[in-house]
Structure 1
Amino acid sequence: MSKHEDSQAARARVPAPGTNRQPAGPASAASASGRASVGGTPAGRAAVGGAVARAVVRAVPPGSGAGEPDVAGGDGSSKEDRSVKKGRQRPRKSKAAKKRRRGNILAAVSAVLVILAGGGIVGGTFFFDGVTAPEPRAEDQMNIIYYDGGAKKVLAKRGEARINLPYQKINEVMAHAVVAIEDKSFYRHNGIDMKGIARAAWNNVTSEDKQGASTITQQYARHVAEMNEITYSRKLREAVIARKLESKFDKDQIMGFYLNFVDLGRGRYGVEAAAQGYFGKSVDKDADPKNRITVYEAAVLASIIKQPYPDAKTGHQGYDPDLNRTAAQGRWEETLKNMLDENWITQQEYDQRKYPTILKGKAAGKGSASAEEGPDGMIVRHVRHELREKGVTDEMWEKGGLRVTTTINEKVQKAAVAAGSRANPQSPMAKVSKDYQSAVIGIDPRNGRVLGYYGGDSPVGTDFGGYMDGDGNGVIDNGGQPAGSTFKIYTLAAGLRDGISFETRWNGELRRTDGKAISNAGQDPGGVCTSGGGIKNCDLQTATIKSYNFPFYWITEKLGVDKVIGAAKAAGVRYMWSNSGERIDLTTAPAASIKKNFSPEAGFGQFRIVPLEHAAAVATIVGVGTQYDAHFVKEVSWLDQQTGERKTLGDNLKGKQVFGKDQMSDLLGVMSEIPASTGNSLRNGRDSVAKSGTWELGQRESDKNGDCWFVGGIPQLAATVWVGEKADPVALKESNGDSMFGSKTPAKVWQQFLNEAAEAMKWEEAKFPERQRTGDAKHPAANGVEPPPEKPEQTQICQQFPGLCPNSPRN
């Protein structure tokens, strides 16, 4: 219910049939003087023969097409009438139905009497409504996307701004066409069509034909007051505002207001935007004649006003010629005939009429990104995608008027762009090749809201963060990047689920099941795990921190690749690409398909995934195992054309515990050692967790790395960073010529992003939960080889000089 409908102004009442009960309130036959009020004052009542009549009217969506020939069946008849014509009998009405009908007719008669006496009611309410007639704002029909926060700062706009023309410049053929089809007596009435109101009151109660009976002035009054329901209280208030408009402005001014605000379909508001969209012309009377709208084109636009869009409820396709040419042309004929009747066109012009050619093209409301928007414009793709999933249709987007509050925090966003874009001289990316690209994504692990997102400098280019289609239709087929060792956090999550402890031991000399050696990023076997038990007996914690591959291959082999990838899916990864380049949807693929398309190398990151989805899953780990859907839309609202109220959809903040909290504390405890080990601790020793990752450019080119990652975060923000090539695969190098690894430039980007975001947000130095060690150190999947027992004298020497015995079991 709109804020104005509590007024119930001038609503008449009748006692229920068979009773003599009087309505509550001070009204009586003695006070039946047409007392009325607006807003919070007592409702107006009018006495009819000592009793008070109450009119009951059902609201009808604007543009429903009710009562139109092409809705009812081509001849204006109702469904019931048509059934009789076809020889079918009308169903007999019950006594109760007849009684209700008599009551409705009585109410209608009373209502008509009250409304026809509306002069007194209008006079009584005239000074209670302060009325202004603001010029329609140029951006009212645009879709406006905001950053999160109370300031309502605009992130982006989509659509074409309304083009307001001074009323003196609007071609009179446009005004005449609109009057001819919408309100033939516009230039003769005082803003209110009493006959039309009475007719609508009778039809609304006695039949299924719902009529608004609004003059052009009343239609604009409805816009001013933001009222849309067809009820008598609303109609009377609308009439009051219409009368005040008529007393304050002349007809040409009111017509100018109306023509600049009216919705003409395709997301085009105002006749100038519509003329440009449908015909590539102008309604400016001073425009060049060849670019000036004709009377026939003006009639097309005027004919659209009644219903510019299809109505899913009634099935009526509206009057956009592209969607419903027959109905549109029929209404166009009616418009021209009325113009002839009013002597606004000549008989010759009427006789020579020819339906104009309509331009085809995308709706104004769709809009498109422009390079000038910068990196933040990329976010709109994800907004579009999420809105569709929320049920906000493309038609609603095209129509415009959406107000979207994103989850993007302007401060965190600024930090993401500053860290990831080489356009910033202080970014670590500014020191490496211009052919390199980064993606920087920050997600609140406590609710899944994306706070910062950098996927490229231009919103019209490739989305390196999410590989989202340019119109927000979904992830492109050829997207994603190999996650490298950052995928190991899901292998560990699967292992922890199965009871594998970080104390388990693994043999790095074993070959894969196909007989090939397991690569450890080119490290000398003699130097692998020297501090963790040696290459044959390496503990899982050391292997995780040092990022050795062999334990992760064997965990995946022993548990099954479907369980490891299942952990990634549970955390938030949806798509992975097989070696053949096929995109696999993990949410629908059965275990057999996963086993068929992925090998145990998945356990250490061979296969491509989407950085945004990886970031969402990282947030699940950082959030101690609670998974939230990563999202960009915090709230979306739009004006409901039936009620006049703004409807709102918020975000879903329901989390799901997908991993045990104790197991995640164990994993986070190990990950907390990585920032210091790579030299990327955060400012002031802030508690953080991380995992680096690198994937080789080619299977046998261990010194040429093509994708580098650093992921992790702090309790308030999960941060994921990828660095790779913009176009063709290249071997990534640091500024000094060394091969790039995840612990180098990507880690520096990650470090800068978190430091700057935490400082800008003034976050406290929160702590991760205390580590709880879980699992079985003797898990059957472990394959480490215990060294032979030491001799007593050797044990004594090793205790005195530990560096001489690197392969001794750890204490």
Structure 2
Amino acid sequence: MGRAEERRARQKSARKARKGAKKGAKKTGIRRFFTWKMVLGYFLSLGLLLVGGFIALYIWVDVPNANALAKAEANIYKYSDGSIMARTGKVNRESVPLSKIPKDVQHTFVAAENKDFYSDPGVSFTGTARGMINTLLGRGKQGGSTITQQYVKNYYLSQEQTVSRKLKELVISLKVDQQMSKDDILAGYINTSFYGRDAYGIQAAARAYYNKDVQKLSVGEGAYLAALLQAPSQYDYSVAGPNGKRLVKQRWNYVLDNMVQKHWLDPGKREGMKFPKPLDPRPVPGMDGQTGYFVEAAKQELYKSGVSEDELAAGGWTITLNIDKKKQKALERAVRTQLTDDLKPKTRPVDKHAQVGAVSVNPKNGAIVAMYGGAGATKHWMNNATREDYQPASTFKPLILAAALENDSTTRDGTKITANTIYDGDSGRPVKDASGNNVGFAPPNEDHKDYGPITVQTAMNNSVNSVFAQMAQDVGLEKVKKTATALGMNPKAGGFDVAPAMSLGVMGASPQDMAGVYATLDNHGEKVTPSIIKSAVKGDQRAELPDTTGGEVISRTAADSVTSVLTGVVDKGTGTAVRQEGQAVAGKTGTSDDNKSAWFTGYTPNLVTSVGMFGEGQGGKQVTLTGTGGGGRVNGGGYPAEIWAAYMKAALDGQGSARFDLDTDMGAAVPPPSSTSPTTPPTSESSEPTTSAPPTSETPTTPPTPTTTPPTTPPTSGGKPSTGTTTPPTTPPTTPTDTRGVRLGPPGRHG
């Protein structure tokens, strides 16, 4: 063997020795755990552990119920023209279906937050990991979540920044993406996000920033609202500083550029777009003034229609009312100028007691176009327009005539009751039944005035109690009540008993009730039920509101005949204060005994309005109105009629005059024959009337005796409160009475 070969052999032997020694040496320290095989094993084990843990987490975590804040919504109340009246609820949110959000506005949110939303699995693992790392490092809120994850955070979870919340968000988002469509997820995200200005959801944001409904948003406005979500307070352009305005414009441009990139926006259209500056912040309408009355009245209607209190309290309803802004302002102005400006409660204590309620109704569809409930819901808790605790007094008399005409009723001697039928109009005349026996009721007329034999028309003009008390008996009290309730009065109202005193309007009724009754007369006997709600919608749900107009409740002839008679009240009777040149008006005054209430309810062919004035003392006690405004008794032809006239003149301004289309041959609206002569009237000892043509004059000048001819001049009424006083009868009544001279029944009422 040569030297070279020997050297190589020694080197090879040395290498084997060193390798053997190295192999036999024991590993110490950290090297024992980090061979490449071990490191690989660690990673594989960690991966399996994470996968197993995630699978366990996926199985363990369910999609929870929505959190309270996500479900909380406001109820929005609107005027008939769509403008906002009020918002109720702690959270200003009104969810809308995606179908109501323009498609290009939908795309602005996707472009702003998650361009790949329509194709992603619902989560961004890298974004979530980055968010958890930043959370652990205390770097605060971080972006990177998908729209699905943000929706999950808003709707199911909370806004806290913790690793556990992030893990739940990840799992729930994966499940939600599998269980829900992309459109539903997008709708949920847009409706639950906070936009600043106390606005949750896009509908509230559209109103807060642009004062419009979401359907009317432009793509530029949608892009601004989408941009807001990154920093709602900082990006509110109206209050932002220079840097905030610069940043929100940058963000706005970013959104639109992404839309172009995704082919959702035409580049040419994008080029010409200008930043849509939002409106300045506006205060949210409250419950002061008449608004509180409107909202409460609307709630009561919704409850009756089947919407539960819990459903309404959950929010999300858009409730559009029939209230017409112009007419509402006119009604409030009429009350102020005709009454409240005339009151001096500091020097006249009685003036503190004056309350007014009024309702104005379209007789064609029952819409309540104006309502006056009082000084304001935050000042006077009860809505005077809907309260039923005061008596309608003589505004009930037309319903007695309606019952007589509808039932073809006759007097005790078999004569058919019409506008020309003559009754004994003496004050305190005992009411008799069909056999001629006294029924124990003999109401006095106003100021105990005797009218002698007068026609029904004249009795209505002058609101003669004795005539209508006898007529109610002739018709039948049950039939009178049946007709009254069919027309719209509440049969359950206090005092609505089948008794002779019913003829004086002693039951309870509200201005809304009486407006409905007279609207039915105006609508030719077709039922009209006043309603303050035009529509009530929550998302795709619509409240089933009852019909406001129905079938015939009395014949057209009967209804039109009453209307014809009531035109005489305005032309020659107690309602002359409401006469308007060229405008047909029918109506009736009412003044209760002790002057606790006074009314005027009247109508034109196109509008019905009922005004009630009530004396309300401390604790809601009913007190007299006498002396209000510095006058005497407050008649229905005074303040109530003057409020009615001032309102109706403004409400009908520009609509032109209108005439009633009446199917009748009786009443003041029908021209009398050219020559007629009345038959012999009944004597004061008999209530059997005969039929005659109208007398040549229907207005008495002096109180006649029972044997005189029909009177010629009406008693003074209308204008400011009368200073006259009531004089007791000079002879005692033959039947038991109270201190007011009313026989066997409630106190006498007058017109």
Distance 1:573 1:174, change over 3 A: same
Residues 607 and 212 of structure 1: is their aligned pair in 2 closer, same or farther, counting only changes over 3 Å? same
* Distance (whole Å) between structure 1 residues aligned to residue 186 and residue 563 of structure 2: 66
The question of whether the paired residues in 2 share the 8 Å contact of 1:441 and 1:465 is answered with no
**Structure-1 residue corresponding to 2:75:** 143
Q: Name the residue aligned to 2:29.
A: none
Q: SS where residue 451 of structure 1 aligns?
A: strand
Say whether 1:153 aligns with 2:137.
Answer: no
SS at match of 1:684: coil
Give the letter aligned to residue 604 of structure 2.
I
Supply the distance in 2 between the matched residues of 1:746 and 1:222 (Cα, whole angstroms): 48
Count of aligned residue pairs for this structure pair: 463
Tell me which residue corresponds to 1:769.
661
Instruction: State the match for 2:562 in structure 1.
Output: 667
TM-score with structure 1 length normalisation?
A: 0.50
- Specify whether residues 576 and 710 from structure 1 end up closer, same or farther in structure 2 by C-alpha distance, changes over 3 A only: farther
Match of 1:572 among 484, 488, 495: 488
Q: Residues 39-54 of structure 1 correspond to what in structure 2 (within 5 A)?
A: none
Deviation for aligned residue 1:220: 2.0
SS at match of 1:485: helix
Change (3 A) 1:742 1:395: same
1:522 is aligned to 2:440: no
Which residues in structure 2 correspond to 1:96-495 (within 5 Å)? 141-149=73-81, 152-162=82-92, 174-176=158-160, 180=164, 184=168, 186=170, 193=174, 197=177, 200=178, 220=189, 373-421=288-336, 433-460=351-378, 461-467=380-386, 479-495=388-404
Q: How does 1:543-562 map to 2 (within 5 A)?
A: 543-562=459-478
Q: Name 2:607's counterpart in structure 1.
A: 717
Distance 1:523 1:155 in 2: 49
Contact 1:626 1:657 (C-alpha < 8 Å) held by counterparts = yes
Name the CA shift for 1:138/1:377 in 2 (closer, same or farther; >3 Å). Answer: farther
Q: Residues 423 and 402 (structure 1 numbering): CA distance in 2 closer, same or farther, change over 3 Å? A: farther
State the shift of 1:403 in Å.
0.8
Shift of 1:434: 3.2
Paired residue type of 2:78:
Y
CA distance in 1, matches of 2:680, 2:70: 70
Q: CA deviation at 1:724?
A: 1.6
Residue by residue over 1:542-585, the C-alpha shift from the partner in whole angstroms, topping out at 9 and shown as x without a partner, is 11111101121112223222211111111111245455xxxx6x
SS in 1 for 2:446: coil
Contact 1:376 1:454 in 2 (8 A): no
What amino acid is aligned across from residue 504 of structure 1 in structure 2? T
Aligned-partner residue type, residue 397 of structure 2? K
In the superposition, relative to structure 1, how do residues 214 and 736 fare at CA in structure 2: closer, same or farther (>3 Å)?
A: closer
Q: CA deviation at 1:805?
A: 12
Question: Structure 1 pair 559/429, CA: closer, same or farther in 2 (3 Å)?
Answer: farther
Measured in 2, the distance between the counterparts of 1:218 and 1:809 equals 76
Distance in 1 between the 2:505 and 2:517 partners? 14
Find the counterpart in structure 1 of residue 586 from structure 2: 689
Aligned to 2:457: 541
Distance 2:689 2:491 in 1: 40
Match of residue 708 from structure 1: 598
One-letter amino acid of the structure 1 residue matched with residue 86 of structure 2: A
Distance, in Å, in 2 between the alignment partners of 1:635 and 1:722 is: 28
Taking a change above 3 Å as real, the CA distance of residues 156 and 664 of structure 1, as seen in their structure-2 partners, is same
Rounded to whole Å, the distance in 2 between the matches of 1:429 and 1:746 is: 18
1:631, distance to aligned residue in structure 2 (A): 0.7
Seen in structure 2, the aligned counterparts of structure 1 residues 162 and 413 have a Cα distance that, compared at 3 Å, is closer
Deviations 1:201-238 (A, max 9, x none): xxxxxxxxx677999989526868999xxxxxxxxxxx
Q: Give 1:462 deviation, angstroms.
A: 3.5
Superposition deviation, residue 682 in structure 1: 3.7
Match of 2:627 in 1: 733
Deviation at 1:734, TM superposition (A): 4.9
Q: Residue 143 of structure 1: CA displacement?
A: 0.9
Q: Secondary structure at the match of 1:735?
A: helix
Task: Indicate how the Cα distance of structure 1 residues 564 and 143 shifts in structure 2: closer, same or farther if over 3 A, else same.
Answer: same
Q: CA deviation at 1:694?
A: 0.8
> What residue identity is the alignment partner of 2:570?
P
Residues 362-399 of structure 1 deviation map (CA, whole Å, 9 limit, x = unaligned): xxxxxx996x6202320111111111223333233222
State the SS of the aligned residue for 1:463. coil
SS at match of 2:291: helix
Give the superposed CA RMSD. Answer: 4.8
Alignment-mate amino acid for residue 459 of structure 1? A
Cα distance, 1:466–1:178 mapped onto 2, change above 3 Å: farther
- Asked if 1:744 is matched to 2:638, the reply is yes
Structure 1 Cα separation of the partners of residues 605 and 166 of structure 2: 60
Q: Distance in 1 between matches of 2:422 and 2:587?
A: 22
- Counterpart of 1:503 (choices 417, 420, 428) is 420
SS of corresponding position for 1:522: helix
Q: 1:766 to 1:393 in 2, by over 3 A?
A: same
Distance in 2 between residues matched to 1:196 and 1:502, nearest whole Å? 75
Q: Is the 8 A contact 1:636 1:648 kept in 2?
A: yes
Counterpart Cα distance in 2 of 1:214 and 1:68? 22
* Structure 1 pair 441–654 and aligned structure 2 pair: CA distance change class (3 A): closer
Please tell me the residue identity of whatever aligns with 1:726: E
CA distance in 2: counterparts of 1:419 and 1:687, whole angstroms: 20
Secondary structure at 2:352's aligned position in 1? coil
In the other structure, the counterpart of 1:612 is 512
Taking a change above 3 Å as real, the CA distance of residues 176 and 483 of structure 1, as seen in their structure-2 partners, is closer
Partner letter of residue 638 of structure 1? Answer: K
2-structure distance, mates of 1:752, 1:184: 66
Tell me the alpha carbon deviations over residues 43-87 of structure 1, each in whole angstroms, 9 at most, x when there is no partner: xxxxxxxxxxxxxxxxxxxxxxxx97999xxxxxxxxxxxxxxxx
Q: Deviations over 1:173-207 (max 9, x none)?
A: 95347984686364xx9x974x875xx4xxxxxxx
Amino acid at match of 2:584: D
Q: Is the alpha carbon distance of 1:672 and 1:393 closer, same or farther for their aligned partners in structure 2, counting shifts above 3 Å?
A: same
Aligned amino acid, residue 525 of structure 2: G
Distance 2:612 2:466 in 1: 23
Q: Structure 2 CA distance, aligned partners of 1:786 and 1:221? A: 75
| Partners of 1:721 and 1:749 within 8 A in 2 | yes
Evaluate the alpha carbon distance shift between residue 177 and residue 554 of structure 1 in structure 2; reply closer, same or farther with a 3 A threshold: farther
Aligned partners of 2:184, 2:469: CA distance in 1, in Å? Answer: 76
After superposing the two structures, state which structure 1 stretch, 503-512 or 567-576, moved more. Answer: 503-512
Counterpart of 1:754 in structure 2 is 648
What whole-Å deviation, never above 9, does each CA across 1:65-117 have from its counterpart, x for those lacking one? xx97999xxxxxxxxxxxxxxxxxxxxxxxxxxxxxxxxxxxxxxxxxxxxxx
DSSP-derived class of the 2:537 partner: strand
Q: Give secondary structure in 1 for the equivalent of 2:596.
A: strand
Give how far 1:659 is off: 1.5
Amino acid at match of 1:708: A
Q: Determine helix, strand or coil for the equivalent of 1:434.
A: helix
Q: Give, in angstroms, the shift of residue 618 of structure 1.
A: 1.6
> Which of these two proteins has the greater Rg computed from alpha carbons?
2
Distance 1:505 1:631, change over 3 A: same
Distance 1:667 1:383 in 2: 31
